[in-house]
Amino acid sequence: MPVRAFHFLFLAALPAFALVYTALGAPPAAAQELPSSRVFVPAPPKGKGDKCIADKDFMRRNHMKILEHQRDQTVYDGVRIKRTSLKECVACHVVNGPDALPLTSESPKYFCRVCHDYAAVKVDCFECHVSRPPVAKAAGLPAGEKERDALASFLKEGRQ
Amino acid sequence: MTATRNNPFLRDKPAPDDVPERGRRDVLRALAAGVGLALAPGVTLYAFGGPAEARAPGDPVSSKVRWGLLIDVNKCADGCTRCVTACSTENGWSDTGHPLTDAQWIRKVKVTDPKTGASRSLPVMCQHCAEPPCVDVCPTGASFKRADGIVLVDKHICIGCRYCMMACPYNARSFIHESLKDQKPYAPRGKGTVESCTLCVHRIDAGRIPACVEACPAEGGGALAFGDLNDPAAEISQRIAKYASAQIRADLGTDPGVRYQNL
């Protein structure tokens, strides 16, 4: 019987969407119902606030559609709806690292990556979009103009 | 959807015959007129700091508006690069020590008449053409013109072929060669795509004016002016109607939205 239960889970996990749904659809409580299961279930970190813009099940299936729709609206029509923007997702689902600074998408603990790594679905949003909310310079990020200029002049000198 | 939406091949275009012929001499004439204007008595100019017309949130941009810039070259000091710095700071592009390939959305250009020795210094950025060659050549439809006349790159579908860079007569576009980090949230930029001046589209959508216009020093009125070319009541339109202004390479028929006064 335990073997059959495992087999069932394995089959269900084959298609990518089913896998994401199984993985994300199972809250920690559900994971506890299967103590003998060897299937690792990702647990994405909780965002800020009480709830997301829609319920979890909807967001799990449709977040990419919302983002793409908003993307086209913004790029072509100049409609910038804050609520469904990537910037707002990033701001709300921020995960702080050990240094209390927001993690970037380079970290496997980054909100999107927790599930996307699991499902082996590559996200390329953050090749262009910044993956963390802007951090005040006081927080120690090397975003200063002076540092940038210093680096540029250093590189130039190195070439001469 | 995006691939077809602004595909130049699907766009209604006026036949070439509809475009008025403009000769090279017109440009020279405009340049000559510029020298004359330079000697004309002082003209009251202001930096147009007025907010762009507010669009209701959620409304798409309208083709009733055509954003443009008017640059008074007489007011543009040789050696001043405040507009360039402001653009770089605003949009997050910077000098990384690779002058041949670094992104540059706006640059200062110095032109000298070899006969008279008279020289002018002027900023050149994407000219936001009404008939943009970059849009014509783009194979994916990534290069597009927004309804309000701003020429942009949809980097989501840009494949980095750089045809647009070759097609642009103003050398306004740049290609990003290396991976980037910590971009500005409102100005996404990434390796393998082409980019150029967006006329600070994120600011315009928020009812503000481009960073370069804002940064152009207030002393003497400011050389850069921003406004709606389609609105006859707008100060930029009134100035264009009153004083001679030139488009760079007007002979190409691209009808730039950026105009130069006293060039």
Instruction: Classify residue B257: in a domain, yes or no.
Output: yes
Residues of A in contact with B2 (CB under 8 A): 72, 75-76
The Cα-based distances of B77 to A51, B223, B225 in angstroms read 54, 9, 15
- When pLDDT is averaged across residues B101-108 and rounded to a whole number, the result is 93
Which pLDDT score is estimated for B243? Answer: 93
pLDDT digits (tens, 9 = 90+) for B219-238: 656 899 999 999 999 999 99
* Cβ neighbours of residue B76 closer than 8 Å, sequence gap 6 or more: B120, B121, B122, B123, B223
A interface mutation test: which of B155, B156, B158 has the most A CBs within 10 A?
B156
- Whether residues B154 and A127 touch (CB distance < 8 A) is answered with no
Structural domain count of chain A: 2
A51 and A27 in one domain? no
Residue B94: which of A129, A148, A156 has the nearest Cβ? A148
Task: Say whether both A119 and A130 belong to one domain.
Answer: yes
Q: How far apart are CA B232 and CA A146, in angstroms?
A: 43
Residue B14 lies in a domain: no
Which pLDDT score, from 0 to 100, does residue A149 have? Answer: 64
Instruction: Give how many domains chain B has, as a whole number.
Output: 1
In a domain, B32, yes or no: yes
Provide the pLDDT for residue A47.
Answer: 87
Same domain, A26 and A102: no
Mean pLDDT of B248-260: 95
Query: Mind listing the pLDDT tens digit for each residue in B183-195?
Result: 999 999 999 999 9
B57: closest chain A residue by CA: A79
% of chain B surpassing 90 pLDDT: 67
Can you read off the two tokens belonging to residue B155?
Answer: 């980097």
Q: How close does chain A come to B196, measured CA to CA in Å?
A: 14
Q: How far apart are CA B18 and CA B24, in angstroms?
A: 19
- Answer whether A136 touches B (CB < 8 Å): no
| Pair A125, A103 in one domain | yes
- Give the structural domain span for B83: 2-9+21-261
The answer as to whether B154 is a domain residue is yes
What is the nearest CA distance from A128 to chain B, expressed in angstroms?
4
Domain identity same for A80 and A13: no
Mean pLDDT across B136-152: 96
* A112 in the same domain as A65: yes
Choose from B84, B182, B203 for mutation: most chain A CBs within 10 A.
B182
- Residue A89 sits in the same domain as residue A153: yes
Strand partners, B4: none
pLDDT at B90: 94
Indicate which CATH number applies to the domain containing B215. Answer: 3.30.70.20
Q: How far is CA A72 from CA A60, A69, A75, B6, B154, in A?
A: 21, 5, 5, 11, 9
Cβ-Cβ contacts under 8 Å, A81 against chain B: 57-58
A28 and A52 co-located in one domain? no
- Residue A77 belongs to domain spanning: 45-159
Whether A83 and chain B come into contact, CB under 8 Å, resolves to no
Cβ under 8 Å to A: B residues 137-176: 144, 146-148, 152, 154-156
Within a domain: B15? no
Same domain, A84 and A34: no
A25 lies in the same domain as A75: no
* B96 — pLDDT class (breaks 50, 70, 90): confident
Instruction: Let me know the angle formed at the C-alpha of B201 by A104 and B164, rounded to the nearest 5 degrees.
Output: 90
Do A62 and A8 share a structural domain?
A: no
For residues A85 and A124, state if they share a domain: yes
- Buried residues in B186-207 as b, exposed as e (16+ CB within 10 A): bbbbbeebbbbbbbbbbbbbbe
Residue B47 clears pLDDT 50, i.e. is over it = no
Residue B213 lies in a domain: yes
The tens digit of pLDDT for each residue in A30-68 reads: 444 445 578 888 888 888 888 899 998 999 999 999 999
Of A79, A129, A152, nearest to B58 by CB-CB distance is A79
Instruction: Write out chain A residues lying below 8 Å of B184, CB-based.
Output: 130
In a domain, B241, yes or no: yes
Strand pairing class (B245-246; B258-261): antiparallel
- Is the pLDDT at A139 greater than 80? The verdict is no
CB contact under 8 A, B204 and A78: yes
Q: Which amino acid is at A69?
A: H
Question: How far is Cα of residue A54 from the mean position of the Cα atoms in its chain?
Answer: 16
Mean of all residue pLDDT scores within chain B: 82
Distance between CA atoms of residues B90 and B77, nearest Å: 21
Q: Please answer whether residues A94 and B162 qualify as being in contact, where contact means their C-beta atoms are separated by less than 8 angstroms.
A: no
The continuous run of DSSP H or E covering A114 comes out as: helix A111-119
A56 to chain B nearest CA, in Å? 25
